Amino acid sequence: MISNPLTLGPGALVRDAKELMRKYGVSGVPITDKNGVLVGILTARDLRFNDDDSIPIRDLMTSKGLVTAPVGIKMEDARRLLHEHRIEKLPVVDAKNRLRGLIT
């Protein structure tokens, strides 16, 4: 589990996300508001068919139906969620939906 994942805000531009992903070699970025609350996730899959790097991330990120895990989840349960939902990134959130980690 990554305990302090890289994040961006929903108003950041797609070009910012691509630059961050390229620089750190990651394929997705959790999107949080100014209070650290998870509002979405942007992955390479979201970017695949987009040609406009000047639009805000909020226009492309996945925000509905986000699959998250509670703080303290067991790794076997996290693996099951990743497999069951066919996702590569599992945000870990606290009771107030603040991002506390990322399981990949």
- 1-29: pLDDT as tens digits: 899 999 999 999 999 999 999 999 999 99
Pairwise CA distance, residues 63 & 74, whole Å:
24
Contact partners, residue 44, CB within 8 Å, separation at least 6: 21, 27, 28
Nearest to 48 by CA among 9, 67, 21, 8: 21
Residues of the chain with pLDDT under 50: none
Which of 1, 87, 97, 101 shows the shortest CA–CA distance to 44? 87
Closest CA to 91 of 47, 39, 26: 39
Supply 48's token pair. Answer: 């695949």
Q: What is the pLDDT of residue 1?
A: 87
